[in-house]
Chain A
Amino acid sequence: MTVYLVRRILQALLVVLAMSLIVFIGVYAIGDPVEILISPDADQIERERAVQALGLDLPLWQQYAVFLTKALQGDLGRSFVYNEPALKLILQRMPATMELAFGATILALIIGLPLGLYAGLRPDGRFSRMIMAGSILGFSLPTFWVGLMLIMVFAVYLGWLPSTGRGETGTLLGMQWSFLTWDGLRHMAMPAINLSLFKISLVIRLTRAGVRETMLMDYVKFARAKGLSPARVTFVHVFKNILIPVVTVVGLELGSTIAFSVVTESVFAWPGMGKLIIDSINVLDRPVIVAYLMLIVLMFIAINLIVDLTYSMLDPRVRLESKGT
């Protein structure tokens, strides 16, 4: 187990290093941040000063070396735009994104699992067919369009929910959270639903497929023959076995929701990390882009690890030590 963990952490560091290098070269290839940040009426002297102030006058490899040296001391650089530490900027906005991502994932599980189970147990029922048709919509409708439609219907026409923003927040662990206040929850509802639509459909489809496959297994037939109640067969024997693919996919989906809920965050003016990263890319704010992607890489590695550990709990046949040999 320890060997396994150490190996995973080393892998993680390697990926993070490679990532930072790629972003450095990538941003350099796209354009010059000073051209974008500087006022158009700045003269040549001012332009040269800005290039120097941001450390962009050095050759690229030296800029990277400076970055690495500082990163080893825990300093990921200061944002060109905000003049604040990049990491601080990201962490400030993390709670907003986290609560949205978790909200969406919880919705996906609460709604997706029962519907998927139902559709799997009664594959030919009319309601099941409606669920499956609905899940196709959930897959295929573009997020920004659904988001705007939600705003039009629930905020503009019905006036039930606030259209954008984060609303009132409560403080927990020194951070601001919307889910602690009623107003915050009302603000969270639409973006969370918007983010969860795709996931709900995914969970429904995975669960349904799993159930249909598992119902034909010998051990299910045996359990039935033994005279166990249908409820016990479904919720103990079947359910536990279909959870493995669901956990994998939901775990990875959670990661990508945290990292890339850009569209939903900008449609709902939700001040999270997704909005920060897209704004930063638009002005080539390299320190923020690098720090953000490094964090995201770490997060994905952590999620993968947790998913693997969960496997071994759900399925005793999976042995962690035997992996990667």
Chain B
Amino acid sequence: MRVNLRKLALAAGTAFIGFSAHGALAQSVTMAVAAPVTSLDPHYHQLSPNNAVADTIFDKLVNTDAKSNSLPGLALSWRAVEPNVWEFKLRPNVRFHNGNPFTAEDVAFTLRRLPNVPNSPSSFAAYSRPIQAIEIVDPLTIRFRTAAPHPLMPLDMTNVRILDQETHQNATTEDFNAGRAAIGTGPYRVVSHRSGDRIEFERNDNYWGDRAPFQRVLYRMITNDAARTAALLAGDVEFIDQVPTSDLAKLRQDNRIALSETVGLRLIFLGLDHLRKANENSPFITDNDGKPLGKNPLQDVRVRRALSIAIDRRAIVDRVMEGAAVPAGQFLPEGVYTHVPGVAPPAFDADAARRLLAEAGYPQGFRIQLNGPNDRYVNDARIIQAVGQMWTRIGVRTTVEAQPWTTFVGRAGRADFSAHLIGWGSNPDGSHPLRNVLATQTREKGWGSSNRGRYSNPQLDSLLDQSLVELDEAKRVQLVIQAQRIAADDVAVIPLHIQTNIWGMRRHLAHDARNDELTRAQDVRPAAR
């Protein structure tokens, strides 16, 4: 009898432990991200980690799915009612975390706030600037009037997180950071925030969309790559982002760990000096004896093409990137609507590269320095070393200089370099890299602010100009594709590869890998058993 009782108690005990472990499993999750979130104010700093967290707390008129396709968010539908007027029909019965109803007034308030966030180091003002007048038709219909047709309005709205006029009228960035004002309509609400360390979320049970999978989420920041992987292996955290490429092989073999991955939208490429004219010296190019060349060989498209096909992209992807990238010949990967069909990654051909150099008048090659950051992109310093060796092989003797991003980026912006490695994290519309990286630098239009090689091509500029006012979506996409094709044919920049985004998690979890790199709490859910 006694024995039986003890057995019973033991059985009950195990049952209880089993239950609570399972319960805990489904109720909460601990995530660790690599990049610190600097603010919970969704309009203070345009920065991926902040945007990821803002997407969890707030909603946008237009949301995006894992492949960056637009989805109805707080707006159910949108259309241009006149060439210069966009109308958004808003979702009814949406409430903020504090119970306030969401209406068109809140949208108007949010757009007015964008340019007025004090001390913002990178504001969202660009998204409200095209709007000249806001018209509230009824509580669930809002119209934006622009000076010229603005086909990118819905895309712009995928960047604007909507606040509540009543709650946030006088809210400061500090109020958001303290959690007091971090009140949105999103799937999770903020419980607590310790800056640079952790954010605790709780499910918003009144969410208008799919119910968030966990009752609680602990969102930690572990910047050190090795420590983040170790925390996952130790089970202290159940989910990590930015899995370091050096740990990939090991994690793939570990049967406690699952990975989720997708080709991203970040192209790593080489920018070339287009600023110095054909008869000027480029700062880091000399002849083989180290004397000034008297001309800038990079102005010759044959030289640019030679440098491009001299690079064995497959080798870089396989050896340096450990497979965590795909070779690229343009800004956007296959499957994205503005991907240019038929522009494949340039095939590696050292002989053809030598021939092109000879045709261009450099049978003996020349000397060049390739600059790049060493703390910004995945394996950045090792990539430029590999490229340097490949260029040297075709007779372009290359020295390589990697330096910290803080010193590199300023010099790159001043076009100090002859050739430099840099990356571009795009939104899925080709107009984004065109406008910022490839268009002629023009202050009035806001073009080319990241055109660090100062590439300039009137044909490309004119196509871009047309596309920016073309409301017919099919035509617009064709214009954008055409402009990108010109850049690829002209080797405006040398594309290397597009990074793969990789997340790691314990087997009991599943995740929708996003191509925009955002690590959002609502994308993590229990794995189907």
Contacts and interface: CB of A to CB of B under 8 A. Distances in A.
Interface of A: 30-47, 49-50, 53-54, 78, 80-84, 89, 92-93, 148, 151-152, 155-156, 159, 162-166, 266-269, 271, 275-276, 279, 281-284
Interface residues of B, number: 58
A288 B236 CA distance: 31
B227 A42 contact: no
Given A31-B410, A46-B123, 4 more contacts: A34-B121, A41-B126, A53-B123, A163-B230
Contacts of A267: 224, 226-227
A36 B236 contact: no
Contact of A42 (B126, B228, B443): B126
A279 B36 contact: yes
Contacts of A37: 45, 121-122
Nearest to A40: B450
Contacts, number: 164
B194 interface: yes
B174 interface: yes
A32 B231 CA distance: 35
Contacts of A83: 39, 41, 44, 118-120, 173-174, 177
11 contacts: A34-B121, A37-B45, A45-B443, A46-B122, A49-B125, A54-B119, A159-B234, A163-B234, A165-B231, A267-B224, A283-B406
B196 interface: yes
Contact of B223 (A30, A156, A162, A266): A266
Given A37-B45, A42-B126, A89 B223 contact: no
B227 A164 contact: yes
A47 B195 CA distance: 26
Contacts of A35: 409-410, 413
B236 A42 contact: no
B405 interface: yes
Contact of A163 (B196, B227, B443): B227
B47 interface: yes
Contacts of A281: 406
Interface string B23-45: 00000000010001011010011
Interface string B421-440: 00011000000100110000
B511 interface: no
A165 B234 contact: no
Nearest to B129: A45
Contacts of B121: 33-34, 37-38, 50, 53-54, 80-81
A275 B235 contact: no
Interface string B225-251: 011101101111000000000000000
B221 interface: yes
B405 to A, nearest CB: 7
Given A34-B121, A44-B449, A279-B36, A82 B177 contact: yes
Contacts of B122: 37-39, 42, 46, 50
